[in-house]
């Protein structure tokens, strides 16, 4: 087994934090900038209490990625985003309720989300690495 030494491990952790944070940060910015469109998407997906859940989603997608980038509260931020992703994937991207092309497309989205959840769990387990701000 190859063991990766410092400082390479910490550089890799920083890159992982930036990659994972970017996904959510861009989502939060887009939801905030195009609030009406995000609201319509939430309605179409059958999300309840949109007046509460959409602003909460935007806040989570802005605050948690900043924590990941800065290397502070990394475990909490990563686990919060992972939990959010699992819940939203199960409720919004329920490919098992669909058929045909839509089922295929949604299952691909769900698998991509599953990969992000895996990365977030690894980050929560490993911590931020040496480079924190």
pLDDT > 90? residue 113: yes
- The pLDDT tens digits of the residues spanning 49-77 come to 999 999 999 999 999 999 999 999 999 99
Share the mean pLDDT of the chain: 95
Query: Does residue 27 fall inside a structural domain?
Result: yes
Question: Would you state the pLDDT for residue 133?
Answer: 86
Q: How many CB atoms lie within 10 A of CB 29?
A: 14
| Helices within 71-127 (DSSP H only) | 74-92, 100-126
State what percent of residues in the chain have pLDDT above 90: 86
Residue 78 within a domain: yes
Give the per-residue pLDDT at 95.
84
Give the tens place of pLDDT for each residue, 82-97: 999 999 999 888 888 8
DSSP assignment letter at 25? H
Specify if 44 maps to a domain. yes
pTM: 0.92
pLDDT given at position 97? 87
Tokens of 21: 């944070």
- Asked whether residue 60 is assigned to any structural domain, the reply reads yes
Position 1 in a domain: no
Q: Is residue 118 a part of any domain in this protein? A: yes
- Residue 81 belongs to a domain: yes
| Domain span at 30 | 8-126
Q: Total domain count for the chain?
A: 1
């Amino acid at each position: 087994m190859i063991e990766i030494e410092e400082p390479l491990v910490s550089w890799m952790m920083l890159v992982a934090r930036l990659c994972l944070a970017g996904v959510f940060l861009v989502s939060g910015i887009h939801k905030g900038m195009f609030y009406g469109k995000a609201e319509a998407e939430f309605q179409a997906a059958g999300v309840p209490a949109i007046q509460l859940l959409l602003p909460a989603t935007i806040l989570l997608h802005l605050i948690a990625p900043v924590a990941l980038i800065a290397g502070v509260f990394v475990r909490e931020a990563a686990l919060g985003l992972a939990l959010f992703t699992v819940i939203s994937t199960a409720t919004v991207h329920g490919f098992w309720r669909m058929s045909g092309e839509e089922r295929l497309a949604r299952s691909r989205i769900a698998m991509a989300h599953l990969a992000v959840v895996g990365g977030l769990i690894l980050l929560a387990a490993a911590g931020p690495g040496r480079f924190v701000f």
